[in-house]
């Protein structure tokens, strides 16, 4: 009965979403009195717990390995460890879409429950838009991808989970990305609601900003974790390949970054109104495009684990309805929304606009490069687009954007002059020039992009700390700390990327027990290879003894792991991390002469890539906490003022007659 109850809850939630949309439309269209408006919030609030309970029922079915349910039988196995039974809930098409709907419904509930800053009509329009988006995904689950479908008779054993997904990193990577994707649906609904009522201003941006910031934090964590998972789990030694699935998560992150900064300008200076609305639509559009690319199987990827062309068409139809409708609404209403206050070309607003344009250009480059193979395939020509396109073309906009990132936070709002900040920028400019010159001389043959990356990372690192100079650090607002930590995190990540590209050393050899291989400052001895067994796999495990510059020995144990259900062989790399880099070892196959293929890398400063990602997310979290605390404080002050006015009315004020 658990499966049937979970499905029934989904139907109830879908009915509530329909009621929420109907009541919202009636209220906005003034086709009825205010009674309909009073239905919208309760309908949204109740939906979240219903869908959340439905999702928990699916989790319970996976934990029990209920093999009478088609989804469990196809994606789980009784011998799997507990954590991967849990992760199996969202490691497939139907479960991941139910997770999507759950996050969307809980977000809608929370918005309806706590958001009181917007005018009531805009709030009703926002919740109606959220219901409209939710209804499409309810229909998708109930008519195309039912996660609770029963088998005619239970099977004796399940098919298991894709072995590449049986890793703790990927077990929790999809939920973080999904929270990020779906959080942007709330920003989309806010934008549509504001377009419908034409009420766009600081209050609208203040209400939308925490959702954008929260989504952006989860996207940052998800992308960073996914990058590290691909680095150590796939055994190829790289951390980013411009794969379509990687791009699918990067595109909404780029749009959300631009939207976040645009919303800040709207809150602080009441400017960029239509631009903020447009980015609200684009950010969720990129989430939908990414979902379509991942789920449809229209593009091949090592990261795509649950593809279905037929159901991908359903998502494409949703994409056309939501994004096409929103863009049409934007086209019809944008001219009626004033752009807001003006600002000088030399001001903090101008810097943010410049970086918004650069982020949008990079987003366009990634989107074009991701979809270009599809366009050429329509003319029977197969091409692949990779780093030779993305790296140099993206750098055209990324390099000036990083320069402006270092300077922009030092500028004043509304109007400023470069003369005021010239002295402050001398130190980072000189150090950047010295690093560029030193690296060009000491490392002959270094590529231009790694060279620029090293120099710019140093300049941005110093520049990101300058807004703290002269401040009382204990009284510095959390959002300012968030900006500093986030920008510094990008500098750290950029330094790691440039170092990995410039200084990595690779060695591919065939070795027998007792052989020693040198890679960079490391010497690595293959002591032997032995069979080992895990809970649902067997493996051949190498025993390696590595020494850094002839120092103390450490052991590494890379594996070639075999799964029987489903049958698959994976490479489990072994890593040794030092303060200045990482040794990376992979065990390959055994040749006819008894030698083992070994692949070894020395990657200087590569961990800084993920440390930088963590710092960027931490900066976002500090800013979010600071913003929410500020909003709570302002709300409490407003309530105190209202209470004082009620208790002490102004002289001469006429009290309202009692009903």
Q: What is the pLDDT of residues 45-79, one digit of tens each?
A: 999 999 999 999 999 999 999 999 999 998 888 88
Winning range, highest mean pLDDT, from 272-276, 311-315, 346-350, 515-519: 515-519
Phi–psi pair at 274, nearest 5 degrees: -65, -35
Specify the pLDDT at position 144: 86
- CA 308 to CA 378: how far, in whole Å? 20
Q: State the pLDDT confidence band at 659, using cuts at 50, 70 and 90.
A: very low
pLDDT of residue 382: 78
8 Å CB contact between 620 and 217: yes
pLDDT confidence of 278, banded at 50, 70, 90? very high
For residues 59 and 93, the model is more confident at: 59
Least confident range of 254-263, 406-415, 509-518, 597-606: 406-415
Q: Output the six-digit token pair for 167.
A: 């890793």
Torsion of CA 194, 200, 206, 209, to 10 degrees: 60
Residue 249: φ, ψ to 5°: -90, -30
Across 189-212, average pLDDT: 90
- Of 2-11, 228-237, 328-337, the poorest mean pLDDT is in 328-337
Confidence band (pLDDT; 50, 70, 90) for 260?
Answer: very high
More confident: 657 or 319: 319
| Lowest mean pLDDT across 310-324, 342-356, 604-618 | 310-324
**Mean predicted confidence (pLDDT) in 253-272:** 91
> What percent of the chain clears pLDDT 90, i.e. is strictly above it?
53
> What local confidence, expressed as pLDDT, does residue 383 receive?
81
- Nearest CA to 294 among 177, 176, 144? 177
CA dist 639 and 641 (Å) reads 5
Mean residue pLDDT of the chain comes to 88
**pLDDT at position 654:** 53
Return all residues near 44 (Cβ < 8 A) that are at least 6 apart: 16, 20, 108, 109, 111, 112, 127, 130, 131
H or E element that contains 353:
helix 348-377
**SS3 category, 434:** helix
Match 């979403």 to its residue by tokens: 17
Residue 296's pLDDT band (boundaries 50, 70, 90)? low
Q: Which long-range contacts (C-beta less than 8 Å, at least 24 apart) are formed by 564-570? A: 564/536, 564/537, 565/77, 565/79, 565/157, 565/158, 565/159, 565/160, 565/536, 566/159, 566/160, 566/162, 566/163, 568/162, 568/163, 568/164, 570/163, 570/164, 570/233, 570/235
Do the Cβ atoms of 471 and 483 come closer than 8 Å? no
Three-state DSSP class for residue 410: helix
For residue 602, list its beta bridge partners: 505, 583
Mean pLDDT of 569-588: 93
Angle at 415 between CA 409 and CA 420, to 5 degrees: 65
Give residue 191's pLDDT band: very low, low, confident or very high (50, 70, 90).
Answer: very high
pLDDT of residue 620: 96
Q: What is the mean pLDDT of residues 214-238?
A: 90
Which SS3 state, helix, strand or coil, does residue 565 take?
coil
pLDDT score of 658: 41
Say if CB 69 and CB 61 are below 8 A apart.
Answer: yes
Q: Which two tokens stand for residue 464?
A: 């990101």
Reported as a single tens digit per residue, the pLDDT across 453-502 is 999 999 999 999 999 988 888 889 999 999 999 999 999 999 999 999 99
For residue 63, count other CB atoms closer than 10 A to its CB: 15
Q: What is the spatial distance between Cα 285 and Cα 184, in angstroms, rounded to a whole number?
A: 9
Looking only at Cα atoms, what is the longest distance across the chain? 103
Cα separation of 298 and 198, whole Å? 38
CB 45 within 8 A of CB 39: no
**The tokens of 23 are what?**
């009541």
For the stretch 103-135, pLDDT in tens is 999 999 999 998 888 888 899 999 999 999 999
Structure tokens given for 511: 């070795």
- CA-to-CA distance for 594 and 603, rounded, in angstroms? 29
For residue 31, is pLDDT > 80? no
Q: Which of 201-210, 286-295, 454-463, 622-631 bottoms out in mean pLDDT, i.e. has the lowest?
A: 286-295
The Cα–Cα gap between 640 and 209 comes to 25
Cβ distance 290 to 252 under 8 Å? yes
Whether 377 contacts 244, CB under 8 Å? no
Closest C-alpha among 300, 306, 19, 361 to residue 147: 306
Residue 15 CB burial class (10 angstroms; 0-12, 13-18, ≥19): middle
Q: What are the tens digits of pLDDT across the range 339-356?
A: 677 788 888 989 999 999
CA end-to-end span of the chain: 52
CB atoms within 10 A of CB 637: 10
Strands (E), 520-609: 522-533, 537-548, 553-556, 559-564, 567-572, 574-578, 581-590, 596-604
Of 245, 59, 217, nearest to 621 by C-alpha is 217
């Amino acid at each position: 009965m658990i499966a049937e109850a979970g499905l029934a809850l989904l139907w109830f939630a879908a009915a509530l979403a329909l009621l929420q949309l109907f009541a919202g439309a009636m209220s906005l269209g003034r086709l009825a009195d205010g009674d309909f408006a009073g239905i919208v919030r309760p309908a949204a609030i109740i939906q979240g717990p219903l869908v959340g309970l439905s999702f928990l029922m699916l989790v319970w079915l996976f934990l029990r390995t209920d093999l009478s349910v088609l989804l469990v039988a196809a994606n789980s196995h009784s011998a799997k460890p507990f954590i991967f039974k849990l992760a199996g809930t969202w490691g497939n098409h139907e479960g991941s879409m139910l997770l999507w709907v759950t996050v969307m419904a809980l977000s809608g509930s929370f918005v309806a429950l706590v958001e009181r800053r917007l005018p009531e009509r805009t709030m009703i329009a926002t919740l109606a838009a959220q219901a409209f988006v939710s209804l499409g995904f309810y229909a998708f689950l109930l008519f195309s991808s039912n996660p609770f479908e029963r088998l005619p008779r239970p099977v004796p054993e399940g098919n298991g989970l894709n072995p590449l997904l049986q890793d703790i990193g990927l077990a929790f990577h999809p939920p973080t990305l999904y929270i990020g994707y779906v959080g942007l649906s709330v920003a989309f609904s806010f934008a549509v609601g504001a377009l419908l009522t034409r009420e766009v201003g600081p209050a609208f941006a203040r209400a939308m900003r925490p959702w954008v910031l929260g989504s952006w934090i989860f996207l940052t964590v998800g992308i960073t974790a996914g990058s590290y998972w691909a680095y150590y789990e796939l055994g190829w030694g790289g951390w980013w390949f411009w794969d379509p699935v990687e791009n699918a998560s990067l595109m909404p992150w780029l749009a959300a970054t631009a939207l976040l900064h645009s919303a800040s300008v709207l809150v602080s200076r009441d400017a960029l109104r239509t631009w903020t609305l447009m980015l609200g639509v684009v950010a969720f559009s990129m989430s939908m495009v990414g979902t379509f690319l991942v789920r449809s199987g229209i593009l091949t990827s090592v990261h795509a684990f649950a593809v279905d062309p037929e159901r991908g068409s359903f998502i494409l139809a949703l994409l056309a309805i939501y994004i096409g409708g929103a863009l049409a609404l934007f086209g019809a209403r944008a001219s009626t929304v004033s752009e807001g206050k003006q600002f000088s070309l030399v001001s903090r607003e101008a810097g943010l606009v410049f970086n918004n344009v650069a982020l949008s250009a990079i987003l366009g480059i990634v989107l074009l490069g991701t979809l270009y193979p599809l366009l050429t395939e329509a003319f029977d020509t197969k091409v692949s687009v990779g780093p030779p396109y993305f790296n140099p073309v993206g750098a055209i906009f990324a390099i000036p954007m990083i320069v402006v990132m270092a300077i922009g936070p030092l500028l004043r709002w509304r109007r400023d002059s470069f003369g005021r900040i010239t002295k402050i920028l001398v130190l980072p400019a000189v150090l950047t020039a010295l690093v560029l010159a030193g690296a060009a001389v000491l490392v002959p043959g270094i590529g231009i992009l790694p060279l620029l990356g090293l120099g710019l990372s140093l300049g941005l690192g110093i520049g990101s700390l300058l807004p703290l100079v002269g401040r009382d650090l204990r009284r510095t607002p959390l959002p300012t700390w968030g900006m500093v930590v986030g920008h510094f995190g990008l500098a750290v990540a950029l330094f790691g990327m440039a170092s990995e590209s410039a200084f990595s050393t690779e060695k591919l050899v065939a070795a027998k027990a007792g052989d020693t291989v040198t890679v960079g400052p490391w010497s690595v001895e293959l002591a032997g290879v032995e069979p080992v067994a895990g809970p649902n796999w067997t493996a051949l495990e190498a025993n390696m003894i590595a020494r850094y510059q002839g120092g103390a020995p450490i052991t590494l144990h890379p594996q070639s792991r075999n799964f029987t259900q489903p049958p698959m062989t994976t490479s489990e790399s072994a890593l040794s991390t030092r303060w200045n880099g990482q040794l990376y070892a992979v065990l390959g196959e055994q040749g006819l002469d008894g030698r083992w293929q070994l692949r070894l890398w020395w990657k200087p400063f590569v961990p800084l890539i993920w440390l930088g990602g963590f710092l960027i997310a931490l900066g976002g979290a500090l800013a979010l906490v600071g913003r929410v605390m500020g909003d709570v404080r302002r709300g409490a002050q407003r309530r105190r003022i209202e209470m004082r006015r009620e208790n002490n009315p102004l002289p001469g004020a006429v009290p309202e007659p009692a009903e």
